[in-house]
Amino acid sequence: MRWIVLLMFVLGLGVPPVPAAPATPTTPAVKYDQGTLNIYQGTRRLATLRVEIARTYEARMQGLMHRTAMPEDSGMLFIFEEDSTGGFWMKNTLIPLSIGFISRDWRLLEILDMKVAPDPEKGPFDIYAPSRPYRYALEVNQGYFKRKGIEPGVRVELIPVK
């Protein structure tokens, strides 16, 4: 190969381009904070979850993409700097999820079930958006809220891991 490059250079033909490395799908390394999330109806605790906390834009964009399973009492809590009305989609998400939209005063507003897209990489993708603004969103295994008797109006408490 060196002789070919040298000959091309001597003959004024330039240097051949270096073949590009094959593209490989990669998942960026995103750091999630950890925490415990308690859900209360009045003073009665309905559930306790271990959550990964998506605080940054990059963490929120990555979410639960490319995972094939999630433990039953686990979830991902998305934290936004301001109230939002934006929706969620299931791009590259391989497990069916339920999402709970939570107000800035930590009350559960609405629950939606999200299905895996027919083609998780290319879509089409449904958009799952609540009917009113929210500050936090909690993704769990689909049906978790129903199995635990959790309905809109319950109080949510986050205890970050230090």
Residue pLDDT tens, the chain, 162 long: 333 333 333 444 443 333 333 333 445 578 899 999 999 999 999 999 999 999 999 999 999 999 999 999 999 999 999 999 999 999 999 999 999 999 999 999 999 999 999 999 999 999 999 999 999 999 999 999 999 999 999 999 999 886
Domain-embedded: residue 24: no
pLDDT, residue 29, reads 78
Domain containing residue 34: CATH number: 2.60.120.1140
Q: pTM of the prediction?
A: 0.81
Domain presence at residue 6: no
Residues 96-122: b if buried by 16+ CB within 10 A, e if exposed: ebbbbbbbeebebbebbebeebeeeee
Determine, yes or no, domain membership for 104.
yes
Q: Is residue 7 part of a domain?
A: no
Domain count, the chain: 1
Between the alpha carbon of residue 52 and those of residues 20, 40, 98, 149, the distances in Å are: 36, 19, 15, 22
Asked if residue 1 belongs to a domain, the reply is no
38 with 47: CB under 8 angstroms?
yes
Containing structural domain, residue 105: 30-160
Residue 72 within any structural domain of the chain: yes
